[in-house]
Structures are given as C-alpha cells and as structure tokens.
Amino acid sequence: MSKSKTYSIGLISSLTGVKEATLRKWESRYGYPDPGRSDSGRRYYSQTHLSNLISIKEQVDTGIPIRQAISNLKKSIHPVQVKDVADMGEVKAYGVALEALKAHDLELCKSELRKMLNRGALVECVERSLAPMMVEVGECWYRGEISPYQEHCISSLLEMALIEASLKKRVTQRGRNVLLTTPYGELHTLGLSLLEIVLASIGARCLNIGGGLSFEEVSKAVHSYSVEIVCISVSLYCKPRITFQYLAELRNCLPAQVELWVGGQGINLMENLPDGVRYCTTVGEAADLYSSLPNSYRPGIK
C-alpha cells in the first residue's frame, strides 16, 4: 500500500469516530479491520478500511450489533464504495492533513495538501479547504492541541505546495501589477501566499514582498515597480488600532490611482477602515474584484 493511501490507527480513529481501543477489540474478536503491519508492528489502514469502517460505524449507530455490521460488510449486504476523503460528508476535506500534522506524519500531511491543490477549481480549494484549515490550525494551537512548531511546519508545507501549484497554474498574459504584504510587525504571511496563487492564476503579476515592512518601504516598492493594486493581509495577531493607523498612513502616501485592498481574520476585530481602503472578505471576492477591473496594458514588474 502506498503511503499516501495508508493511515495510522490514530488517524483512522479521528476520521471515523471509533476509539483506538475499540478498533483493536473489533480486530481481535471479529477479525475486522485487518490492517497491515510495519516492520515495527505498527498498524496501517487502507483507504478501503477507512470507507468500510465509516459504513460499520453508521450501522452500529443505528442499533445494529457490531458482529452483524461486520458480517453484513463481508457478505456485501451493505455494499461500500471506496471514497476519497474529500468527498465524505462526515470528514472535512482537510481532515487527514490536520490529523497527520497532530500525529507528526509530515509526509502524509504534505501529500494531502498537494492533493487538495490539484483537486477541482483553485479558488474553491483555497476558500473551502485551505483557508478554513489554517483557521482551525490556529484554534488547535490556542487550545493546546498542537505546538507552535507544528503550526510553523504546516505553514511551511503549505507554502511549498502553493509554490508548486503556482508554477503549474500561472498564466502568461500580462496583467496588472499587484503587491502583497502585511502591516508593520505582522509576520504571518500565509494569507499572502493563498491570495497570490489565486490572483496569479487569473493573470495578475504578483510581487509578494512578505510582511513586517513599514508603510514607507511599501510605498517605495509601489513606485519602483509600477504597482497598481496593494493587497494587505491582517491576522488576528494584529492590534486593530495599530492596523488602522498603518492603513491610513499607507493610503495617504500612495498615488490616488493605486488601489488598496485588505483582508484576513484580523479585520473582523476592527470597527471601520480608513477612507479609500477596500475590504475583501475572501480570496474569491478579491479575484472577482480583480477580474472586474477594466482591461488595459501596464508595464511589467521590473
């Protein structure tokens, strides 16, 4: 079985809702599930195991005895089709990646991130899977379910997956010059990468300068590279008062024709935004806004 299609007992337990001790009991008493074993004796379950165990759990939850549920499965009375995790209603599209992170299985986590980015429309993937996943990662860290180094690990893995996907999906036509950054002191830049790959896929010429620069430095970059749109990402770690002041000062030093867009969870903490600043609630909204702008030739980024 390939590693991308196998799961540890901890992952199977999290994805099916069946406790690890219960899985071992079913295996010893009823002969199912029958996982593979590594050289060290660790159990590994297949995609078929995952689908079948979800079916068994559904039967047991309706009152069918476990022995009968397993017998039904073996007799094909309750046929089960192997599904992709992303299509299971009971499991979030990013469930395996998140559980793999918790189990310190970075190879599986990386594999799942790549699969998510290669599945379906890019904007939908970012909005429905990647962005919610990173919000949940932050919540897991806050609850003490993962350590800060694990949060940094999945951010790094997602950054690499986004770069790979960007190289595949980037278009070649000359679009508007877009600069992406965060407010001064804000070092959480993953939101910029999510937005960059979406805008680049529809023709934007993105310049991601990272985060933490002063508004004066951002203004210099805007003038140097003929930037037409500045996109700012604000996380929950930014203080609303400081963010408001940063955006106001940046807006004042930018040319009037340069658009200033802002997004991210941190904006929800602010009562209002400075005049001339546009709020985009999602990357999809930013993509729609970009696409709605009049087409015109602009010099390329130097």
Boundaries of CATH 1.10.1240.10 in the chain?
A: 95-167
Q: What's the pLDDT tens digit per position in 159-172?
A: 888 877 777 665 55
Residue 80 to residue 237: CA distance in whole angstroms = 45
Q: What's the pLDDT tens digit per position in 50-97?
A: 888 888 888 888 888 888 888 887 776 443 343 444 444 334 668 888
Boundaries of CATH 1.10.1660.10 in the chain?
A: 3-87
- The one-letter amino acid code at 255 reads P
Poorest-pLDDT segment among 47-51, 84-88, 264-268: 84-88
Fold of 3-87: Multidrug-efflux Transporter Regulator; Chain: A; Domain 2 (1.10.1660)
Rg (alpha carbons) of the chain, rounded to whole number: 23
Fold of 170-292: Rossmann fold (3.40.50)
Q: What is the DSSP string of 43-54?
A: EEEEHHHHHHHH
Residue 159 to residue 191: CA distance in whole angstroms = 10
Check residue 281 and report its DSSP letter. Answer: S
Contacts 24+ apart (CB under 8 A), 28-36: 30/66, 30/67, 30/70, 31/70, 32/56, 32/70, 32/73, 32/74, 35/9, 36/1, 36/6
Residue 232 to residue 261: CA distance in whole angstroms = 6
User: What's the token pair of residue 247?
Assistant: 């955006």
* The pLDDT of residue 301 is above 60: no
Residue 280 to residue 289: CA distance in whole angstroms = 9
Q: Which of 102, 100, 119, 118 is nearest to 110 (CA)?
A: 100
pTM: 0.63
280 band by pLDDT with thresholds 50, 70 and 90: very high
Secondary structure class of 300 (helix, strand, coil): coil
Residue 65 to residue 73: CA distance in whole angstroms = 12
Fold of 95-167: 1.10.1240
Boundaries of CATH 3.40.50.280 in the chain?
A: 170-292
Q: What's the pLDDT tens digit per position in 223-253?
A: 999 999 999 999 877 888 999 999 999 999 9
Main-chain phi, psi angles of 252, to 5 degrees: -70, -30
Note if the bond before 33 is cis, omega within 30 degrees. Answer: yes
Residue 232 to residue 275: CA distance in whole angstroms = 15
Strand order through the sheet with 6-8: 6-8, 43-46, 36-37
- pLDDT of 85 reads 43
